Amino acid sequence: MKPILLVTSFICSLILACSEPDKLADDFPEDSRLLLAAGELTDQSIILQCRLNTTDTLVNKDLQGQSGSGFFQVSTDSLFAKSINTEQLNADRSNDFILRKLISGLNPDQTYFYRLIASYQDSDQQYSSKVGSFTTFPSASESRPVTFAISTGFNYEKFYGIDKPATEVASLEDQLLGFEAFETVRKLQPDFFIANGDVVYYDQPSNQDSEYYARSRPEMRAKWHRYFSMPRNREMMLKVPVYYLKDDHDYRYNDCDTTDQRALPTHQDGVEVFRKQTPVVDLENPEGRTYRTHRMGKLLQLWFVEGRDYRSPNLMEDGPGKTLWGKEQIAWLKKTLSESDAVFKLLISPTPMIGPDDAYKKDNHANLGGFQYEGQAFFSWLKENDFLNKNFYIVCGDRHWQYHSVHPEGFEEFSSGAFVDQNSRAGRVPGDPKSTDPDAFVTVPYIQTEGKNSGGFLQVTVRNTENPPEIQFSFHDTHGNELYSISKTALSL
């Protein structure tokens, strides 16, 4: 599409907020109570979100929302001398004081700045959020390096010592600023970050009588408010768009399924709170799915799968009638994978498919008596369709240790491990009788073991070289130290 058409599309997708000349960035007082986030970045769109709060710090373990209204501004100019504004949006209790808007019609491979201009109920004063920025991806026919970071297991309760941690609780400074790894990721300046499930823990601490344990929707929302309020997270989100997935802890509780084995939170609670708290779906599209695929230029395409909403009961006998993904999602996944001509294809799964994992679990595709039938059927389909030669890899969450494993048929999986030290642990190795691989069929080139486990994240980079393009997987601890790295050259283009 030519630039002039893109600009026209962008203007058509938004509505000018006012007819007066645009005001510069310093014309509005900056208000730190406006909590900004951005997600679902593509080559031509992004979802912007902002919550209106009464304070910028926690009061009684929560951030209280405030009614008001506002509009987003998007510009290629950091001063907003020329910008396009969305229509006025209303924040009230019904939407948890959150404003969200899908911004479409952007130009590929272009840096944009954005902010929210807000006013609170019964006040004519307008305030500006801090200014965020992002760079759209190149079009599917264009190549440039793309880097992202990914992690899982953002256990607030263990980090702050609310629940018993595996290591010492965070320092007083870190407790004020939030997870150290947010700052590390921000300094690395990736194109985006993936929060791959277990972003909050409704079922923590382990003491269910604790005031931090969440069963009701207000208690569930408070977990998200605390997560988003951490200063280091707020600063990272201004520069790094985030893709969110959910797993068991930020859906209902540990190893849960869709049945009401426990009364609260319900399946519907878990589905709706996630959709309303994170910039994943367009609020104007109530049918928007949480499984999706995004193209990041010629070199990379990601598939984000939904592992909670459609699953069969965990304890159901494994076989062809049992599913973790659901028939519709599996059909979509196979179809879109087959259609893709991206050089590298990455499946982003909140749960492992290869492992090894703990033998007692029945929760994922790697688990004995869990969903192995569906998992193996998918690997068979991948092999039959030559994905061993199509630069396909799996990146998973859920497990509290970092690993690189290789399936007996040759497919590779990278587990990011937990984001915080206090939520990390040693992993299960092939041949361990307490693992899902007691006969050591899986090969593990790298795994965190006792004494070497730490929190952190996985950094993935795709780039063109003089030879075929390559992808690099690098594990880091919370302070950015590289623990293991491996590069893979594209086998086919």
- 477 backbone dihedrals φ, ψ, rounded to 5°: -85, 180
Q: Assess whether 160 and 181 both reside in one domain.
A: yes
Length of the chain: 493
Q: Which two tokens stand for residue 124?
A: 């004519």
Question: Distance between CA atoms of 200 and 251, rounded to whole angstroms?
Answer: 9
Q: Assess whether 473 and 331 both reside in one domain.
A: yes
pLDDT in tens, 157-186: 999 999 988 889 999 999 999 999 999 999
Asked whether residue 242 is assigned to any structural domain, the reply reads yes
What residues pair up with 356 in beta bridges, in sequence order? Answer: none
Asked whether residue 412 is assigned to any structural domain, the reply reads yes
Q: What CATH number did the domain enclosing 457 receive?
A: 3.60.21.70
**Percent with pLDDT over 70 in the chain:** 95
Strand, coil or helix: 40:
coil
Q: Assess whether 103 and 124 both reside in one domain.
A: yes
Question: Distance between CA atoms of 371 and 323, rounded to whole angstroms?
Answer: 7
Q: Which two tokens stand for residue 109?
A: 């491979």
* C-alpha torsion sign, points 351, 408, 296, 151: positive
Question: Distance between CA atoms of 337 and 339, rounded to whole angstroms?
Answer: 5
Mean pLDDT of 36-50: 98
pLDDT at 448 over 90: yes
Mean pLDDT of 209-220: 96
Asked whether residue 140 is assigned to any structural domain, the reply reads no
pLDDT at 198 over 90: yes
pLDDT in tens, 452-468: 889 999 999 999 976 79
423, 385 contact by CB (below 8 A): no
| Total number of domains constituting the chain | 2
Q: Assess whether 125 and 156 both reside in one domain.
A: no
pLDDT at 106 over 80: yes
Show the domain range for 79: 3-135
pLDDT at 447 over 90: yes
How many C-beta atoms surround the C-beta of residue 64 within 10 A? 13
Q: Assess whether 324 and 366 both reside in one domain.
A: yes
**Mean pLDDT, rounded, of the chain:** 93
β-pairing verdict for 300-304 and 98-103: unpaired
pLDDT at 13 over 70: no
Residue 16: per-residue pLDDT: 36
Place of tokens 């599209």: 285
Asked whether residue 466 is assigned to any structural domain, the reply reads yes
Q: Assess whether 229 and 376 both reside in one domain.
A: yes
Q: Which two tokens stand for residue 249?
A: 């802890």
Question: Distance between CA atoms of 478 and 454, rounded to whole angstroms?
Answer: 8
Q: State which of 76, 106, 135 marks the end of a domain.
A: 135
Question: Distance between CA atoms of 355 and 413, rounded to whole angstroms?
Answer: 8
Q: Assess whether 112 and 169 both reside in one domain.
A: no
Taking Cα atoms as reference points, which of 89, 131, 78, 101 lies closest to residue 10?
Answer: 101
Q: What CATH number did the domain enclosing 97 receive?
A: 2.60.40.380
Asked whether residue 141 is assigned to any structural domain, the reply reads no
Q: Assess whether 118 and 210 both reside in one domain.
A: no
Question: Distance between CA atoms of 107 and 100, rounded to whole angstroms?
Answer: 21
Q: Assess whether 222 and 302 both reside in one domain.
A: yes
Query: What is this structure's pTM?
Result: 0.95
pLDDT in tens, 371-393: 999 999 999 999 999 999 999 99
Residue 88: per-residue pLDDT: 97
Q: Assess whether 151 and 294 both reside in one domain.
A: yes
Asked whether residue 294 is assigned to any structural domain, the reply reads yes
Question: Distance between CA atoms of 328 and 160, rounded to whole angstroms?
Answer: 40
Question: Distance between CA atoms of 7 and 13, rounded to whole angstroms?
Answer: 10
The CA angle 128-130-133, to the nearest 5 degrees, is 120
pLDDT at 118 over 60: yes
Residue 22: per-residue pLDDT: 55
For the chain, how far is it from start to end, CA to CA, in angstroms? 24
Taking Cα atoms as reference points, which of 50, 303, 273 lies closest to residue 194?
Answer: 303
Q: Where are the beta strands (DSSP E) in 224-377?
A: 242-245, 292-295, 300-304, 344-349
Asked whether residue 94 is assigned to any structural domain, the reply reads yes
Asked whether residue 373 is assigned to any structural domain, the reply reads yes
